[in-house]
A and B are shown apart, each in its own frame.
Chain A
């Protein structure tokens, strides 16, 4: 009789626990943490107008110099066929994308790539040691002193920007564009690449102003530009904004990005952890001790508790 009591209370517990876990996990969460302390309008920003880029790679070269990097490819090869790739010691690249046109000619467009400096960056939120951080004015910077080399940032970054030094045994680092935050922005200078650009394809300013200017440019010249400012809404907005005359997906930009920031996906889970701990310890504690008491009461019957 007692045995059936115990097993039925066990069963009741399992049902209750299952239901509450389901409720905890399915119940929608209204609170969404705003991870950023950066105001969207005032963030430092760069507008890249791809229609003005002549692929001279001045930005690539000056980036290497300004940040003291020593990549195998320093950007001095300006042939359009040459392909630059981002690496831990190469933070900015320009590649010429050939876009096939319907009229049997192809259009060559220079595309600069570097960290997009998301307003709500995935890398900052996923790094277990806080090696990535976002400064108050938006630039997302990496400090190697904390890095353990887990490469979660590389997996999490929607633009696949952080790169890793695969050839160091104990001291590999991750590398990505720092927005020249420490060596230039804090001194009131624009990023090195912006300063080096001879055609005005890059423009530095506050995000609000640049967004406005981008919209003005698109409106003034609707034939030249497509009606999409890349970075305005992608994963909650980025500090680097792109204008183009050709749809972005044809230039190798990710076109399937969600508009909600990446950190919100895990925050859904992380924010529930305290309540899960509390609920589980309460439930298990109750069951364990109450069943123990039941069993103690019938200690004389050694195998009755097992059913």
Chain B
């Protein structure tokens, strides 16, 4: 065997694609789409992780923070008293600034000299610039992204909205975007603040703090790492699903092109090509195709990521307050990883065919029936494997049921993967059983033939149908989850936002504003709210023993509020729970209940400036979107025990007098107290803002979902198109027996639509199961709250229609081709047999 003959053999094998360019296109499209989706998602993840690494490296993340219990800024004397007593605390000032172009910049002022060693010195400017950092005109240290956004040219420093200038910019690649770090002297002047936002201290330092101060432990500060991990795991799971679906297409297309070349391969073998050389040639072909497809895929994946990244950044920012660069930063291993995954998938998909090519019997003739016999064996294997996967899913489910909810994220995804794959594997056996039943039941010969013929087509269709099943159920599951979330969230927002207008009066004006408001006849209720921080002390009922930092939220239990405020579980009925609450009981949010295992009826202990307080839990309330555990008390109780005044007042208008229009009141408040727009928030504004955040959060999920469904449609189309020519030889005898082309074409379409319909019917319960898993397991683990399960019949109908539509679309082209096939061509089919 020499190089020349190898070359001839390779050309012969490859010439197949010249005769069937469609197959080549489909193969490449499959590879391309699969790897594009996967690499897009991975690119987003990689880029986001880079941003986090920078955020995590920043001092505030790994250090404990000390704040005043009443939430007011700390004074310089608070700081100095601690320092002079030996406490190694470091001051920090933070706030937002508006730039001339209207954008916001977070400004943090630090004192590099007292920052705990190793935490933020790099952030402060490194060795060479400490003097510049500490002295006028100071330095503004920003990430490259922010630098580029701020600095139009090198000569002029960026200007604030009020015309003042920022200190000269300096690049700090280790900072997260959107953040400016400067010396505390510069920051205080710029932000016009005299106080300190909080103090930082290394976690290992033990401190005696005065009662007015409270220390938040780094580990308890909302653990953004875990939350963002959840988000990225979600994305990765979507990407993986897209990859599986894409590889199924590749598998379908690949088996077909190899199948059709079996004859050619036999000829080549008969001409003296060794089995090893044949496999090597096929492997080369696979690698070439894989490289091309993966390359295209990775490039478009990057493009896809660039398109989606602003949305990802926006939703992460909204969800967790994480800053993310909207610029794509890709590490080198990303490229290799993408290529490896795609090529690996391609080889796995092609390995069965390669195996057969290696063991090719030179003398055996291609027989559809023999192939079918093998397929039956394969079906049994699939059923067994599917059942095993289901068992795995069940096992994981029962195991997860006994775990604390927050720990089940990865296993939850594993369970979903097992459920989906198991069901996909069961699809073909199920279809085969149904068809066998149908061919027995159907009496009319043509229909009987249609069922039998479909059985014969099944091996080729099944992979495409599996892809369709996965995409449909994912679409349904994720769709219901997002839809359900949306419904619950909006309803909850409605219930929580009972006031028409929310007011944040400055502390010194507070009493005057309340007096003034109380004297107005058009107001039916005033609902002051207050906030504080506390430590939830150890209690024997709690699942985790370590004391944890919680938010304390004070509300006014006015009927206007209590009638709407949703409760999940309560001690007695809701009225009784609110009554208990008014009399001093506490309520806790779902996040805290899930994390600690506390239930209504149990007691909790909170630290407060006036000593430890013990409260009975009256109810658990839903608190979507809040990453933290929260305890709710009455506002008056909170003010008294935490020595803080309400930070905002909800104003409920008298419907009869105002018909709900807040404008007059708003205007009067501005006139009387000179309040700015910031301290007056309209209920509608909040709702609008929240809805926007929500929509952005799920934009990516939906985009990926639609793309996955599109991929599945492509899979179906490609496998159908690829086998049109083969179908001709199956149809030609029927035509010869006198069946005209129209019924034949209709039967073809109906066969596919039927299979698609069955697949979609299977996808519905699977999708619902998926929704349940997402809502009950994944969401609870990822976000800490549980959503009610919503089923959307309309969406199910759309999914069914979509499946059939995709199938019809895919079937129409072959049907049309058949319809256009000339009798002469059909006759020639007999030559081939």
Asked if A and B bind, the verdict is: no
